[in-house]
Structure 1
Amino acid sequence: MVGRWLSKVSAPTLIEAIRARTVPGYLDLDATRLDGYRARLPFLDPEADLARVHSVGGRFIIPGDKEWPSQLDDLGDSRPVGLWIRGTGSLRLLALRSVAMVGARACTAYGAHVAGEISAQLAERGWVVVSGAAYGIDAAAHRGALAVGGVTIGVLACGVDETYPPGNFELISRIAEQGLLLSELAPGEHPNRFRFVLRNRVIAALTRGTVVVEAALRSGALSTARRARDLNRHTMGVAGPVTSELSAGVHALIRSGGATLVTDAAEIGELIGAIGDDLAPRPSGPILPRDHLEPAIARVLEAVPATAEGAPVERLALAAGLPVEEALQKLYELGSLGFVERFGTHWRLAKGARSVPR
């Protein structure tokens, strides 16, 4: 609502209009809501808020500032009025190559390991990891990036001078030193359930894509994923054990087509990175010695039965579709390479080759 008003009038004009009850009719502000805003005005002290954020090395930015990330404008009327930032990096530049990592607070050891490992891989590839500094997947994501000397951004549901949750005090302090903390809430403000939901939209809009690691069917992480999808950002999910309730939400998201399955940082980078520059290597199994054989000799090898008695050359030639003389030559070549051995008038797989998958 406030964002829609600020698209029509300036913030000082709006505040004075609320204080003097002279709000223009086109702003569509009913009397009840106007009274609520007027009741809160005496408790606002912008100068004190600025002094408080400056005392912790922070600042306040608004749309149009050099540091403002223009992708937040995709939120339209729900775009933050401004952001309080703690840290020395440029939010606009750091957010250009960033990815959100979100998930369950009460995560499993598997979820924490995966989130930390992928975040470390992303940081090593020059990506900035963004999360909410909460327990569980959020904390694992931040720690993974920090562990390899990467930069990470914590989007808070409280003031940037507050520590929530308290158990993450050291982690949040480290993020402020090595990355950025940001919030749309003024210094001193404390979190509540509604503020976490609002925080999620900032995470989704700020980044190039959102990865969900572990989420139940009713999870705040899924709301971030839905926001990202609505904003035409890439939404990705990491599969987990089918027996885990914390995997059900992610699996449902992937199955419905709302997210792309990813397993590592390379696959994430291919989705959200520059075309042609962040391609993931094509997964493949191990290369076996038989993979280098020419087609004709490979057909002869495939014809040799995996039995102790083997088979005569005539039967092998027929199975390989080759003349007997050519098949015999190929068998001797295979013998030189250690694939087969002669057993009387028969040919069989060499002992070492019998246990190799065909």
Structure 2
Amino acid sequence: MSQRIWVLGAGQLGAMLKHAGMPLALDVCPVDINESSAPELAVDDLVTAEREQWPETLVTHALAQHPRFINQNVFGRLADRKTQKELIDSLGIATAPWRNVANDITANELRDQLGERVLLKRRTGGYDGRGQHWLRTDDDEVPGDWQGEAIAEQAINFDEEVSLVGVRNAAGECVFYPLTLNLHLSGILYASVAPLARLQPLQAQAEQMLGNILNALDYVGVMAMETFRVGDQLLINELAPRVHNSGHWTQAGASISQFEYHLRAVADMAIPAPQVIGQNVMINLIGTDYNPQWRNLPCARTYWYGKEVRPGRKVGHINIVSNNITEVRETLVLLGDLLPEHYYRDAIDWSLSALESL
């Protein structure tokens, strides 16, 4: 009988974990947290999650209380940006200067401490550009209902946004993918490019940063570390204790995907180093309808999530991979013609430019 692994949450990440479990003979079962009844878990079942936080429901109570819920004590600590920042600081790892928003602290006090441009972030939730509030001018104020519910960060004049996805097993072994270059628009990831030879000099620095965090938490599974590159230094922006959008390129571009790695670590299987397959570009599909012509693109694979299409919502992604850089570029141009006009102006041109700097 195959090992059963329950996934708290049944979104696209849960679906991709289920798919990755099939070749490993793992019975991966994503569960909608709002189901009217909770599943019955066996003593030897395993539990993981596709999300950092969750409301109290019948399902989440059943899964989160299971003694074999891997990283059970980590999720809450990293889902709260305040305790996440405190962890990073305690390990002496570089991150954007920050302050807790509490005790009726004013916008002027925060600017005095952090600089002219300050970004407020809700302590929990608020991904994909939500849950943020800028303090840019003397007229801006801290919203009253953000006191005690947010942190304030110094705005970083970064050169680029770079992420590292790594995996750690229960024995403490760690494996990392190459650094990934990312494009965010209005807080939403639109494109990723990996690998890039020019980022290789930063790889050891990034692996040490994330490795220290994984070991400090005794973490098991995949974690993503989003960073700002400022010159030849990296500053942590945020951590995600789960498989991550910026690692989606590994589905087509590596011998072992991030989803398979996560399951391997959780199920205590081997985690051999990945072999990267060619040059990779991942384009997120944001609020756009499905186009059957995507299937005709050379060296491209479409992953459609089956979700209702709404503005600003991630509904799929396309991985482009080839050992022929010209083929990657040509496929990007063809894809641009099949996407809304702003993609050409933003994600496609950005990806083409990134490939010029290999």
Which bin holds the TM-score, normalised by the shorter protein?
under 0.3
Task: Say which structure, 1 or 2, has more relative contact order (CA 8 Å, 6+ apart).
Answer: 2
- Highest Rg: 1 or 2? 1
> Please, what TM-score do these two structures have when normalized by structure 1?
0.25
Per residue, is there more helix in 1 or in 2? 1
Per residue, is there more strand in 1 or in 2? 2
